[in-house]
Structure 1
């Protein structure tokens, strides 16, 4: 049975991805802070392993990874997904504390999970595995008022490239999935805010979150000899290319 550990598995893209992999027969490590939400995702699936932990806590996250490796035997894929948007405001209205909080989850937490996965994949026999980092189209083109989120997602691209390079000697592949406007709680909050600002606005174009989950599955199912380095999946009508 193939194995994957998913951070931020309790909601949004992480939950949709976890449900898809479980339906496909994978053994899935569900890592997030809320045990009750993870239990809801795991319900009815023998392959689910509940791993309550905060990715900003290196010790708790290490215990979760060790627990999954002990139960599953190995780690084939990490979907490095946990993240938060943070305040939507001009830079001078964003506090340093708010900036640090987003950095802690979106970048520091992603590094913590990546280094633990890398160590497991390097040590296991046969050696190797795959890390899929959840980037964003904000890694290329920011939304207004998104300085915290956009900064971290640009940094994730550097993390992805470094992991790809450093993983080659150990058959550890790394790719990045840049998602635009999948219908999650986070995107819905942005839609709701836009409608508050302009009640007549129709809201931004969105796509079903399962399309993002299927993209992760495609990357995860590739043979070791192949890797999707960067993939972008967006709502067709969203203003990403051109002036919009």
Structure 2
């Protein structure tokens, strides 16, 4: 059953599909007010519709309906505009789910074009930094002060897949971002945690069903899990009191090749 609306405000990046959409819908069911960001406007409106259903809302123009803000998170001005829109609409920001990202092109290091490397770094790392910076600035300045940032890491923040050097490097870097944000946020009641996801069933992991390359060169089918299980975990992290924080959480398909991988 949907929870009545609250004053808690969440910004979700990469909200047009996959994990971002699932988390937005789950937060909506918990009464959160949402600001949905992503590059494509049409999928964001679809997420807003699904979130409205989860919240038991009957109209898209209700005061607590999600705000749709098409955003390129690699653009500092666009990110600043996103958070300005969030504050203009709802008055504050209590949560950033820092989720936008890409796998990039599968290639060995000698075959990866520098432009491809930079595109992955720009989105997965610089985009996460820009959103965290804007969220931190707002959370530090607002009254009551504080909030929470949850970064979407990956199993690849711990161990790589073959031919994934750009993605793996950025996800390792996100862990450093998480730790630094946690430390810098302490004086301002800003908590930061990271969720590392393995094989959630989304559009981006559809290949798992037909087989993906393993460390020994084999192509093998890998099990997946319902993306809703990720969303429930994010909501749990988000709804902890300011005095508590899940620093790192790993949520994965039980039988996926992670333990023992590499």
Q: TM-score, normalised by structure 1?
A: 0.94
* Counterpart secondary structure, 1:43: helix
Aligned: 1:6 with 2:12: yes
CA distance in 2, matches of 1:194, 1:163: 34
| Shift, 1:24, TM fit | 1.9
Q: Which runs of 5+ in 2 are unaligned?
A: 1-5, 53-61
Of the three residues 223, 229, 238, the one matched with 1:211 is: 229
Question: What TM-score comes out, normalization by structure 2 length?
Answer: 0.88
- Cα RMSD after superposing both structures: 1.6
Corresponding pairs, count: 240
1:30 to 36, 59, 65: 36
Conserved in 1, the CA contact under 8 Å of 2:211 and 2:221? no
C-alpha contact 2:211 2:219 (8 A) present in aligned 1:
no
Q: 1:57 aligns with which of 75, 78, 84?
A: 75
CA-CA distance at 1:242 after TM superposition = 1.9
CA distance in 2, matches of 1:117, 1:164: 13
**Alignment match, 1:160:** 178
Tell me the secondary structure at the aligned position of residue 10 of structure 1: coil
1:41-61: CA deviation from partner (whole Å, max 9, x where unpaired): 112624311011110111011
Distance in 1 of aligned mates of 2:49 and 2:195: 27
Which region of structure 1 is more displaced relative to structure 2, 67-76 or 164-173?
Answer: 67-76
CA apart distance, 1:83: 0.2
Q: Which moved more, 1:60-69 or 1:96-105?
A: 60-69
Partner of residue 17 from structure 1, selected from 13, 23, 26: 23
Give, in whole Å, the separation in 2 of the partners of 1:162 and 1:41.
Answer: 31
Q: Alignment partner of 1:105: what SS? A: helix
Give the Cα–Cα distance (whole angstroms) in 2 for the partners of residues 173 and 103 of structure 1.
24
User: Aligned partners of 2:70 and 2:12: how far apart in 1?
Assistant: 12
SS where residue 215 of structure 1 aligns?
Answer: helix
Residue 188 (structure 1) aligns with: 206
**C-alpha distance in 1 between matches for 2:110 and 2:220:** 29
Offset at 1:76? 0.6
Deviation, structure 1 residue 201: 6.5
Q: Distance in 2 between matches of 1:243 and 1:64?
A: 39
CA distance in 2, matches of 1:148, 1:188: 20
Aligned-partner Cα distance in 1 for 2:72–2:41: 11
Structure 2 partner of 1:122 = 140
Q: Residues 120-160 of structure 1: CA distance to partner in whole angstroms, max 9, x if unpaired? A: 00000010000000000100011111101000000000000
Distance (Å, rounded) in 2 between the aligned partners of 1:148 and 1:128: 33
Please list, as runs of the form range in 1=range in 2, the aligned pairs for 1:86-105 lying within 5 A after superposition. Answer: 86-105=104-123
Q: Distance in 2 between matches of 1:170 and 1:230?
A: 20
